[in-house]
Chains A and B, each alone.
Chain A
């Protein structure tokens, strides 16, 4: 797909998926077909039963299942190096495969921070043997993510940085941001931005609104995000730079991005499943599984994010998968760290909370989940013949409870932990290799 991804090695097996309903909105495919994968590519789409038996090809019974282009997540915290107890490259890419992802991009807020070529190179090296699906990495914009001095962005890009971000922290200084946008001409990779004005978010732990007023917890106003989005859109427009706004949570941010796009600014943006599906009402439980940054906001903001996704103001869905250890999360809400896991539940949550109630169509969710890498040069997967085989096989009717079967991730801090969801990934093919088979499905296939 792209030279910024590290591909797992190992044999590619040819596959015939029979009788599945194929849905690839971008490729204009919406029909029941047999899908043949040969040599890592979609070789043929044929009327069910018409291909006959294929020698040396494993047949997968797709009857009653949906096949989509697999998903790409540009925003994953793999916690490696430094917190391998929370996630590592193996577990993180397994979790991604279990969620239907065929490629992910890791964030650089690790320990040490990915701010020099040697750290990035060692991650790339480890990924060659540990990753289950193609994986790429972003590097930091500033050294140590301190927001002061630029990293050696040109060298980092040469080594393979997919982009640059200080995610977890904003680039607070507009002057440093402008320098980064200028220097971007040398590095030639997008800047992915965690938008938050620390002077406004302060010590906040949740959305500033009715719920924070009642709970007596410090609020993070929606404008703490929106003013930085507007600032950085203005700077990117001035400098002709390329930016990607991460985890948009506020209505005002959606508006600022819409306006910037209309003005020709090279900006893309992502929304997370949790900001699309949940609100600050969840925080009334004081369960730290609903604590993340940016915070879950009010229904009005959630609606605006949904509409932004529908209109295209927001280009893609990203999980911001942020593993934390049990002991860190098992604390009072205010003391717990920010972040929730999301790779394994993203599709099921969006299907349950948005598609089934008729808020957003299935095709739109599939398209926005598959297009997450485009900003960074990763082509959106497709089911069209000739495309690399990146396929997710889903049972839209299957109900399950996240956490009950355990997680592939090393961490369990999932916002949907213990909640019934409808829609289960049965199998994921990433870059021509079967990267994941759901256990019961794998057993069924053998029988």
Chain B
């Protein structure tokens, strides 16, 4: 494993399997009355959230606490960011507390990568702009793994439906699912599918006429803001064409969604409450998968510097004399 988790690209298939296996063992801990292990006792994890988040920030906080780490969660509202402090200054300030890990969400692509250059801590990307959200992809894989079994991911046909253009979940998902051998299709209105997205290794559909081929339907959140800018004419027409409802979801298909759901837009109420829906399981997976990621990065990640060629070395060791 590399030192940071910035992108699904940082992970090999073996890394992913190790994280999922580790998550499985933490799932057992979560079943106990005392849901805590002492693994990270004495270590500090700082959550830095520059964007609103409920489930990601709370599950990272819980994950770190269950590993017995000391946790500080820092949100941009009410912080010195509002007084104009730059990302770099904030990170350097927080780094002075000598954290083992910094979990960062920011509205800009590549923000987590920048933080990784400015700190000696391990950095976990909890969403950088519309670029990546690797722990979401991992928890989605874990959810499928639990439901279907380890071997079932290979050849699994997954359709990611909706606003792919503005979705970091979709981008990390396409890569992670592909890495595990799934066949991935992205589907949505052509205005919300990035040009040349096939280069990520997925197929593209502009209607749902063939969605019956999917084993898993992964619906994305359709944001109201997309009505401005003419991405779609109306939520009504979007729903008519792309909403996953009882007609489009067959009993043999599984349904996923990263939350929060717009009921009646991307999903109908009946499918949200159907037995095929894994939406609650995804939330449950969030804590154990993030425990596994913290564990692997902070204890297993002895770190091979060679793997991070090109990154400036800013660890707490002195630079080698030239």
Check A91 for interface membership: any CB of B closer than 8 A.
no
- List the A side residues contacting B231 at CB < 8 Å: 179
Extra inter-chain contacts (6) besides given A150-B230, A183-B191, CB under 8 Å: A142-B230, A148-B230, A150-B232, A154-B240, A182-B189, A185-B206
Q: Does B241 lie within 8 Å of A154, measured CB to CB?
A: yes
CA distance A185 to B207 in the complex (A): 9
Which residue of the partner chain, among B191, B207, B233, contacts A151 with CB atoms under 8 Å?
B233
CB distance from B228 to the nearest CB of A (A): 8
Q: Which of A156-191 contact B (CB under 8 A)?
A: 175-176, 179-180, 182-186
B196 → chain A, closest Cβ, in Å? Answer: 12
Residues of B203-226 contacting chain A, CB below 8 A: 206-207
Question: Is B114 at the interface (CB under 8 A from chain A)?
Answer: no
**B110 partner residues in chain A, CB cutoff 8 A:** none
Q: Kindly state the interface size class of chain A when it binds its partner.
A: 10 to 19
A61 in the interface (beta carbon within 8 A): no
| Least CB separation from B241: chain A residue | A154
Instruction: Please report the C-alpha to C-alpha distance between residue A24 and residue B149 in the assembled complex, in whole angstroms.
Output: 68
A30 within 8 A of B: no
B129 at interface by CB-CB < 8 Å: no
Question: Are A149 and B233 in contact (CB-based, < 8 A)?
Answer: yes
Task: Give Cα A151–Cα B237 distance, bound, in whole angstroms.
Answer: 10
Q: Could you tell me if A183 and B189 are in contact, using CB atoms closer than 8 angstroms?
A: yes
- Report A139-154 residues with CB < 8 Å from chain B CB: 142-143, 148-154
Q: Which of A142, A143, A149, A186 has most chain B Cβ within 10 Å? A: A186
A155 proximal to B (CB < 8 A): yes
CB-based contact B233/A152 at 8 Å: yes
Q: Which of B233-258 contact A (CB under 8 A)?
A: 233-234, 236-237, 240-241
Docked complex Cα distance between A46 and B227 (Å): 61
Distance in Å: Cβ of A219 to nearest Cβ of chain B: 32
| CB <8 Å contact, B241 and A182 | no
In the bound complex, do residue A186 and residue B234 qualify as a contact, i.e. CB atoms below 8 Å apart?
A: no
Point out the residue from B207, B227, B236, B240 that lies within 8 Å of A149, measured CB to CB.
Answer: B227
- Interface residue from A142, A155, A185 paired with B237 (Cβ < 8 Å): A155
A-B contact pairs, 11 of them (CB 8 A): A142-B230, A150-B232, A155-B240, A179-B191, A182-B191, A183-B190, A183-B233, A184-B190, A186-B189, A186-B190, A186-B207
Q: B190 touching A150 by the CB < 8 A rule?
A: no
Count of interface residues, chain B, beta-carbon cutoff 8 Å: 16
- Whether the pair A150, B233 counts as a contact (CB closer than 8 A) is yes
Report the separation of the CA atoms of residues A153 and B236 in the bound assembly, to the nearest whole angstrom.
12
Contact B190 A153 (CB under 8 A): no
Residues on A with C-beta less than 8 A from B234 are 152
Contact between chains at B230 and A176 (CB < 8 Å):
yes
Q: Which residues of A contact B207 (CB under 8 A)?
A: 186
- In the assembled complex, the Cα of A281 lies from the Cα of B173 at a distance in Å of 65
A153's nearest neighbour on chain B, judged by CB, is B233
Give, as a whole number of angstroms, the nearest-CB distance from A81 to chain B. 21
**CB proximity of B162 to chain A, nearest CB, Å:** 14
Q: What are the nearest 3 A-B pairs in CB distance?
A: A185-B190, A152-B237, A179-B230
> Roughly how many angstroms separate A150 CA and B236 CA in the complex, as a whole number?
13
CB pair B237 A154 closer than 8 Å:
yes
- A184 to B189 CA separation, bound complex (whole angstroms): 10
- B231, closest chain A residue (CB): A179
Q: In the complex, what residues of B have CB within 8 A of residue A182's CB?
A: 189-191
Q: A177 — nearest CB in chain B belongs to which residue?
A: B230
Cβ B236 vs Cβ A152 within 8 A: yes
> Who on chain B is nearest to A151 by CB?
B233
Mask for A90-126, Cβ within 8 A of B = 1, else 0?
0000000000000000000000000000000000000
The residues in B between 280 and 313 inclusive whose CB is less than 8 angstroms from any CB of A are none
Q: A155-B237, A155-B240, A186-B207 are in contact. Are A149 and B230 (CB under 8 A)?
A: yes
- Rounded to whole Å, the gap between the CB of B212 and the closest CB of chain A is 19
Q: What separation, in Å, do the CA atoms of A182 and B230 have in the docked complex?
A: 11
Contacts of A152 in B (CB 8 A): 233-234, 236-237
B-side contacts of A153, CB under 8 Å: 233
Q: How far is B227's CA from A175's CA once the two chains are assembled, in angstroms?
A: 14
